Amino acid sequence: MRAPTLLTLLVLAFVTPAAFSVAALPVVSVTTAQPYLGWNDAIILRNAAVEVVVVPSVGRVMQFRFVGETDGPFWENEKLAGQPMPPEPWKAAHGSFGGDKTWPAPQSVWKWPPPVAFDASAHPARVAPDGSVTLSSPADPRSGLRASRHIWLDPTEPVLRITTTYEKISGEPTPVAVWVIAQLRDPVAIFMPVPSASIFPTGHAPTWKEPDGTLRREGNVLRLTRSRTTSQKTGNDGTDLVWVGEAQLLRISIPRILGDPYTHQGCSVEVYTNADPFPYVELETLGPLQTLRPGERTSATTTYRLGRRTAAAPDEDARVLLAR
């Protein structure tokens, strides 16, 4: 195993002469070649509050958690922990590796399983001088697309931003949207705000199967829980999702571009819940649908904000996080 290396970066968002002192500079550290769950190539981005774990050999952001804690919101499949990328990860273990990844949308183009270049390949990493990390996929031979993910941790806040870019390398023009999938642990609840002028009369897209009491509207917010017996999915044209666990919360956000077309029934955010015995959920974001020709690109930025639970009810904690 290579000896771990440490790259410490000083990041200053706004500098004034009075503020320019070593004590005032927020610090983000980036460590490479770290052991994590049996992998030895993890890259860890850390500020004073939180850390992000990236594993290039499986092409995923595997965890986002508070410093000093061993658990975070992202679901990590213990059956594949530390394992090299198998030829068909979803057959090797239901749910694959977990963590956060990207697939091209719409899914109807490739059905199942996801394209190997996006989902079942190592994504080499590059650490930039500003402390960000970029993962790059190989080109997908079917679509001629290549994905890159620029991962940036705020120097002071518990905030992670990932800009996912698809580049058209070859082939015929391809309609595609950036789709980001975060697999998360079994929640207490998930909250999906409803836009004031939603395109969906019920506030959400038609669901897979019947909601079975796991989906209800509470004012301008939809509350979802995971069914133990059947997998379900819905979404809407909003910009935010909030996962609420026993001790933590995670808000996932993406801008919606007014006037642009969206695939997946017009959704920009989606929620998928998986049945037992694989207790995970997926919080998903979508960028607008773009037709790419060779040499063209499309990008979408997803923002993740971590929070701590209080003694308040789950919906109250979620509303506080949504107001930040």
Give the tens place of pLDDT for each residue, 60-86: 999 999 999 999 999 999 999 999 999
The confidence band for 26, taking pLDDT boundaries of 50, 70 and 90, is confident
Token digits of residue 165: 């870019």
Q: Quick check: 55 and 42 in contact, CB under 8 A?
A: yes
- Nearest by Cα to 122 from 43, 20, 26: 43
Which amino acid belongs to residue 104? P
Average pLDDT, integer, range 158-177: 97
Go through the chain and tell me how many residues it has: 324
Q: Quick check: 22 and 33 in contact, CB under 8 A?
A: no
- Nearest by Cα to 54 from 134, 120, 165, 118: 134
Radius of gyration from C-alpha coordinates of the chain: 19
Residue 238 pLDDT more than 50? yes
The confidence band for 150, taking pLDDT boundaries of 50, 70 and 90, is very high
Average pLDDT, integer, range 40-67: 98
Which amino acid belongs to residue 195? P
Q: How do strand 39-46 and strand 27-36 relate by DSSP bridges? A: antiparallel
Cβ contacts of 70 within 8 Å, gap of 6 or more: none
The confidence band for 208, taking pLDDT boundaries of 50, 70 and 90, is confident
Token digits of residue 13: 């968002």
Q: Quick check: 268 and 294 in contact, CB under 8 A?
A: no
Predicted confidence at residue 17, as pLDDT, reads 37
Please name the fold of domain 101-322. Answer: Beta-galactosidase; Chain A, domain 5 (2.70.98)
Percent helix, strand and coil across the chain, each rounded to 5?
10, 45, 50
- DSSP string of 39-74, one letter each residue: EEEEEEEE-SSEEEEEEGGGTEEEEEEETT-S--SB
> In degrees rounded to 5, what are phi and psi of residue 187?
-90, 165
Residue 272 pLDDT more than 50? yes
Residue 1 pLDDT more than 60? no
The confidence band for 298, taking pLDDT boundaries of 50, 70 and 90, is very high
Cβ contacts of 84 within 8 Å, gap of 6 or more: 57
Q: Output the pTM of the full model.
A: 0.92
The confidence band for 11, taking pLDDT boundaries of 50, 70 and 90, is very low
Q: Which residue has the higher pLDDT, 266 or 212?
A: 266
Predicted confidence at residue 213, as pLDDT, reads 86
